[in-house]
Amino acid sequence: MDNFSPAESKTPESPIDYFPQVTTLSVPSLYLAPMKTPKRLLPLIEDGLIDEVLHPLMSGKEATVYVVRCGQEIRCAKVYKDAAQRSFKQAVQYREGRKGRNSRRQRAIEKGSKFGRGQQEAEWHNAEVDALYKLSDAGVRVPEPFGCFDGVLLMELITDQNGEAAPRLNDVTVPADLAVEDHATVMEYVKLMLCAGLVHGDLSEFNVLVNEDGPIIIDLPQAVDAAGNNHAKSMLTRDVNNMTQYYGQFAPELLNSRYADEMWSLYEQGELLPSTVLSGEFQSIDKEADVDSVMSQIKEAYKEKLEREARMREED
């Protein structure tokens, strides 16, 4: 969702090669300079969920991510910004189809009361945790979540083989053969998400990490209900197009694929399964309107209407 940029990083003079020595923070070096604890993370330290805040990792319009120590584990703490500070556009479209289990809370959200706004914020935060668990179970590679506490999501820190924080796709260049392979992987993930009933809704090179094991999908608070949201098809198409455009700059042959149309058509027909092998090909069937046939049917219907009215007058 966020167009994050690594905190305190330097801009490289040339594009970063695939699996680079990126300028994001090295996990071991984070022990050298612990930072002052942000206010939003204090309750988690007091509750023993976090032992130490090591360094900011990324900051964006929707949230700030910190690297934290939890016992012997190094993890991420994603601190969501308040609704008034967020800039996510058309959030109402993303919430469409989400129904709370508690009817009182749902009514409050619909009315827009203070209590309702608070519940809406909680749902926005918890939506990402729920999506991460669901997608992990579905076989999509995502960070492992450890829970959401007071607007802070604790999750796995994704690293590369050198222990560096894994870069986002927009920070790397990809060889053509690997672009084809990783694009197929991302399309597989999009398919598995759809099979699980979800559409990411904001998928792009800014919301995918990459390491030696391939792509990792991140940023899911806006994920939509594929069956309950009227915008799901257009969002799926945009997600697929974004990823195809990104990988297509390295492997132009990908630009002619039609994965979104193929997936959605199978989904609508109830034929999309986790085991479905996608081809990226789709042939739409466009039927020309038979104007004469339509006009004939209209005339017949009008004639029958007149005959019924005539019979009713005779009966009277």
Residue 127 has a pLDDT of 86
Where do the DSSP E strands lie in 89-235? Answer: 145-149, 152-156, 198-199, 208-211, 214-217, 224-225
Residue 125 has a pLDDT of 74
Task: Report the alpha-carbon distance of residue 64 to residue 220 in Å, rounded.
Answer: 15
Residue 21 has a pLDDT of 36
Q: Give the percent of the chain with pLDDT over 90.
A: 57
Is residue 268 within a helix (H) or strand (E), and if so which, with residue range?
helix 259-268
Is residue 68 within a helix (H) or strand (E), and if so which, with residue range?
strand 63-70
Q: How confident is the model at residue 126 (pLDDT cuts 50, 70, 90)?
A: confident
Q: How confident is the model at residue 316 (pLDDT cuts 50, 70, 90)?
A: low
Whether the pLDDT of residue 75 is over 90: the answer is yes
Task: Kindly report, residue by residue over 189-246, the tens digit of the pLDDT.
Answer: 999 999 999 999 999 999 999 999 999 999 998 899 999 899 999 999 999 999 999 9
Residue 3 has a pLDDT of 46
- Which amino acid makes up residue 119? Q
Residue 11 has a pLDDT of 37
Residue 288 has a pLDDT of 53
Task: Report the alpha-carbon distance of residue 286 to residue 278 in Å, rounded.
Answer: 22
Task: Kindly report, residue by residue over 158-168, the tens digit of the pLDDT.
Answer: 999 998 899 99
Task: Kindly report, residue by residue over 21-31, the tens digit of the pLDDT.
Answer: 333 444 444 44
Q: Is 114 helix (H, G, I), strand (E, B) or coil?
A: helix
Residues 6+ apart with CB under 8 A from 21: 162, 164
Residues 6+ apart with CB under 8 A from 280: 187, 257, 258, 259, 262
State the pTM of this model. 0.73
User: What kind of architecture, by CATH, is found in domain 5-268?
Assistant: Orthogonal Bundle (1.10)
Give CA angle at 213 (168, 132), nearest 5°.
65
Interval 273-296 mean pLDDT: 78
Per-domain boundaries in the chain: 5-268
Residue 208 has a pLDDT of 97
Task: Kindly report, residue by residue over 94-108, the tens digit of the pLDDT.
Answer: 455 445 555 554 454
Residue 168 has which token pair?
Answer: 């986002």
Q: How confident is the model at residue 52 (pLDDT cuts 50, 70, 90)?
A: very high
Task: Report the alpha-carbon distance of residue 149 to residue 85 in Å, rounded.
Answer: 19
